Amino acid sequence: MEENTKQENVVQNSTTSGNTTQGSNAQNSGAQSGTAQGNVAQGTPIYVGSPAPSTQNAQRTPGSIPVYPVETKGKSYFDGTTLQLIGWRFLGALVSLITFGLCIPWAYTMIYKWEATHTYIEGRRLKFDGSALQLFGKFIIWFLGGFGLSILFIIAEVIVIFAAGGFEDTFDSIQSGIMPPLALIVIYLIFILALFLYDAWVEVALRKWKASHTFFS
């Protein structure tokens, strides 16, 4: 009788312990489920099996869970050929020569479009939408700037020559092997430096205009 009573007590204790464990697990599962539902309701992302990524790149819309974009990287390459570039340059030079330089902007834009069409950045093709008419206005401004520098140089040169005794004395001195006035040499050097800096400024401005009209197709 005593042994049967002990066995019954052991069975009852085991049953009670099992019920307690199941109840605890059920409560934990319910709490986790409630927390997950609360997170979804609040728009908080849930991550299973991996740590949560940084939220800096998350795209969040009102009332929804943030969506993290998947980054895909492709190859970056250029598939244009040398013959194509030679052909476009020859055509641009020919048209510019026939039109006395008026179609130089058109030649630039055609080459830029060809270059963008054959350029791929991480698998995505570039596109250029600039027009010759847009660039023509900028070319006029840049031409007037260079023309203004040339006029200033000519004026400074004439002033120095007259201060040195006039054109005849200055050129006779140069033909006789006498060094021209130092001021004239300085003016020439300043003019060359100014043209160099102005050309660099125009090149940067042209590249900025090109970049502002280049995007992914």
pLDDT digit string, tens, across residues 2-57: 444 444 444 444 444 444 444 444 444 444 444 444 443 444 444 444 444 444 44
Beta bridge partners of 214: 128
171 and 111 part of one domain: yes
99 and 33 part of one domain: no
Residue 10 lies in a domain: yes
DSSP state at residue 122: T
164 and 99 part of one domain: yes
pLDDT 10s digit of each residue in the chain, 217 long? 444 444 444 444 444 444 444 444 444 444 444 444 444 344 444 444 444 444 444 455 555 555 544 445 789 999 999 999 999 999 999 999 999 999 999 999 999 999 999 999 999 999 999 999 999 999 999 999 999 999 999 888 888 777 766 666 666 665 565 556 677 788 889 999 999 999 999 999 999 999 999 999 8
Counted domains in the chain: 2
93 and 195 part of one domain: yes
133 and 203 part of one domain: yes
Beta bridge partners of 119: 78
47 and 89 part of one domain: no
36 and 107 part of one domain: no
100 and 181 part of one domain: yes
Element (DSSP H or E) covering residue 87 = helix 82-98
Q: From its phi and psi, is residue 89 left (phi > 0), alpha (psi between -120 and 50) or beta?
A: alpha
45 and 133 part of one domain: no
Element (DSSP H or E) covering residue 215 = strand 214-216
Residue 9 lies in a domain: yes
Residue 70 lies in a domain: no
Residue 62 lies in a domain: no
**CA dist., res. 109 & res. 107, Å (int):** 6
Domain hosting 7: range is: 2-57
DSSP strand E in 24-99: where? 77-78
Beta bridge partners of 173: none
Residue 108 lies in a domain: yes
Tokens coding 210: 């090109």
3-state secondary structure of 119: strand
49 and 104 part of one domain: no
181 and 147 part of one domain: yes
